[in-house]
Amino acid sequence: MTPNPEEIYKIMASGQLGAALRGELLVFSTPPHINDDMRPSDHVELLKEGIYPLVQQYGKDFVSSNLENSIANICFDALGIFCAHRCFYIQMNNEKEGISPLSLERYKLPKILAKYFLEKSDALHNLVIRDGDLEIDRSYKVTLSGMRILEKDFGIDWGILLPKM
């Protein structure tokens, strides 16, 4: 069962949105037509079906602030780094496509994400999203690739020189 926006609002108001971003609370499942086993929670669905509808009722500032803070605050381990970068990446794409009613901060937040990416990169190399994942480095490569795309296509300045693969 897909959570509804009111459930997301309740966890947002209680300071637990990060748990939803990490796929630990109110999980938005990846639709069956998408073959992506690297999603602990589907951030596309979470944003479109859970977070964006809250803007009309609670305002852009409230929702943006909570989303930005949650993205930054989940970066305490490899899973958090992976999910924070995926959510930020999807949000940037949604902004570009005009799907998002939000516009996330593009200076400070990327530098926070880059800092934690560097600090936790060793753990990202070994992060297993699903039992049975065989490909070492997959989480690291997906995250780094997303960072490079955002840098190139969106002009996101991470404040660091991105590592070579």
Q: Where are the domains of the chain?
A: 5-154
pLDDT tens for each residue of 39-58: 555 788 889 989 999 999 99
Question: 89-147, pLDDT tens digit by residue?
Answer: 999 999 999 999 999 999 999 999 999 999 999 999 888 766 665 567 788 988 999 99
> Kindly report the CA angle at 158 between 114 and 71, in degrees rounded to 5?
50
CATH architecture of structural domain 5-154: Alpha Horseshoe (1.25)
